[in-house]
Structure 1
Amino acid sequence: MRSHLLNDTTAERYRSSVTEGVERVAARLATTPRPSTGLTAAELARRVEAVDLDAPLHDTIAALDELDELYLRDAIPFHHPRHLARLNCPVVIPAVLAEAVVSAVSSSLGTRDQSAGGTLIERRLIDWTCERLGLGPAADGVFTGGGAQSHLHALLLAREETKEQDPARLRVFVSEAGHVGVQQAARLLGLGEDAVVVIPTDRNKRMQTVALARELERCRRDDRSPMAVVATAGTADFGSIDPLPEIAELCARYRTWLHVDAAYGCGLLASRRNRHLLDGIERADSVTVDYDKSFFQPVSSSAVLVRDRVRGRLPDQAGKSPGTTRRLDALKLWMTLRVMGADAIGDLFDEVCDTATKGWRMLAADPRFDVVAEPQLSTLVFRYIPTAICAPFAIDRANLYARKALFASGDAVVAGAKVGDRQYLRFTLLNPETTTADITAVLDLIAGHAERYLGGETLDRAC
Structure 2
Amino acid sequence: MSDFLFTRDTPAQYARALHSTVDTVAVHLAGTGGPRSAASPGQLEDLVAAVDLDRPLGDLGAAVDETRRLYLDHAVHFHDPGYMAHLNCPVAIPAVAAEALTAAVNTAVETWDQSTTATLIEQRIVDWTAARIGFPAAGEPDGVFTSGGTQSNLQALFTAREERLSRPHPGTRQERLAGLRIVAGEHAHFSVAKAAHLLGLAPDAVVFVPGTRSGALDVVALERALHDVAASGGEVAAVVATAGTTDLGVIDPLPGVAEACRAHGAWLHVDAAYGGGLLVSPTRRHLLAGIERADSVTVDFHKSWFQPVAASALLLREGRSLRFSTWSAEYLNPRHAVRPNLVDKSLQTTRRFDALKLWMTLRTVGAEEIGRALDRVLDLAQEAGRIVAGAPDMELVAEPVLSTVLFRHVPPGTGEDDADRIVEAVRTALFDSGRAVVASTVLDGRRCLKFTFLNPATTATDVERVLDLIRAAARETAPRPLEAVAGAR
**1-side partners of 2:320 and 2:142: how far apart?**
9
Q: For 2:33, give the aligned amino acid.
A: P
Determine which of 264, 270, 281 is the counterpart of 1:271: 281
**1-side partners of 2:376 and 2:15: how far apart?**
37
1:347 aligns with 2:349: no
1:119 aligns with 2:156: no
1:62 aligns with 2:86: no
**2-side partners of 1:252 and 1:30: how far apart?**
52
* 2:381/2:405 contact within 8 Å kept: yes
**Which deviates further from its counterpart, 395-404 or 1-10?**
1-10
Match of 1:421 in 2: 445
* 2:275/2:304 contact within 8 Å kept: yes
Query: Per-residue deviation at 1:36?
Result: 1.7
Q: How does 1:21-420 map to 2 (within 5 A)?
A: 21-137=21-137, 138-163=140-165, 165=173, 166-313=176-323, 317-390=342-415, 392-420=416-444
**2-side partners of 1:245 and 1:48: how far apart?**
52
Q: For 1:140, give the aligned amino acid.
A: D
Indicate the SS of the match to 1:426: strand
Match of 1:447 in 2: 471
Query: Per-residue deviation at 1:399?
Result: 1.6
Indicate the SS of the match to 2:320: coil
**1-side partners of 2:483 and 2:27: how far apart?**
45
Cα displacement string for residues 185-226 of structure 1 (whole angstroms, at most 9, x for unaligned residues): 111111110111112222222112222121111111111111
Indicate the SS of the match to 2:323: coil
Q: For 1:378, give the aligned amino acid.
A: S
Q: For 2:29, give the aligned amino acid.
A: L
Q: For 1:393, give the aligned amino acid.
A: D
**2-side partners of 1:311 and 1:402: how far apart?**
48
**2-side partners of 1:297 and 1:457: how far apart?**
49
Indicate the SS of the match to 2:188: coil
**1-side partners of 2:245 and 2:42: how far apart?**
31
Query: Per-residue deviation at 1:448?
Result: 2.4
Query: Per-residue deviation at 1:455?
Result: 5.7
**Which deviates further from its counterpart, 306-315 or 335-344?**
306-315
**2-side partners of 1:102 and 1:54: how far apart?**
29
Q: For 1:447, give the aligned amino acid.
A: R
Q: For 2:152, give the aligned amino acid.
A: S
Query: Per-residue deviation at 1:412?
Result: 0.9
Cα displacement string for residues 360-415 of structure 1 (whole angstroms, at most 9, x for unaligned residues): 1111222211212222211101111121042x222111121111111122221101
**1-side partners of 2:26 and 2:179: how far apart?**
55
Q: For 1:363, give the aligned amino acid.
A: V
Q: For 1:448, give the aligned amino acid.
A: A
Q: % of aligned pairs identical?
A: 48
Q: For 1:88, give the aligned amino acid.
A: N
Query: Per-residue deviation at 1:11?
Result: 1.1
Query: Per-residue deviation at 1:50?
Result: 2.4
Indicate the SS of the match to 1:3: coil
* 2:322/2:345 contact within 8 Å kept: no
Match of 1:433 in 2: 457
Indicate the SS of the match to 1:313: helix
**2-side partners of 1:27 and 1:327: how far apart?**
28
Q: For 1:337, give the aligned amino acid.
A: L
Gaps of 5+ in 1: none
Indicate the SS of the match to 1:227: strand
**2-side partners of 1:359 and 1:389: how far apart?**
23
**1-side partners of 2:41 and 2:247: how far apart?**
24
User: Cα–Cα, structure 1 residues 460 and 321, in superposed 2: closer, same or farther, change >3 Å?
Assistant: farther
Give the TM-score of the pair, scaled to structure 1: 0.96
User: Cα–Cα, structure 1 residues 220 and 460, in superposed 2: closer, same or farther, change >3 Å?
Assistant: farther
Indicate the SS of the match to 1:2: coil
* 1:4/1:10 contact within 8 Å kept: no
Query: Per-residue deviation at 1:42?
Result: 2.9
Cα displacement string for residues 313-359 of structure 1 (whole angstroms, at most 9, x for unaligned residues): 37652311011211110000000000000010000001100011111
Aligned length: 460
**2-side partners of 1:38 and 1:179: how far apart?**
31
Cα displacement string for residues 144-174 of structure 1 (whole angstroms, at most 9, x for unaligned residues): 0111000011001000011172211010112
Q: For 1:213, give the aligned amino acid.
A: E
**2-side partners of 1:281 and 1:157: how far apart?**
18
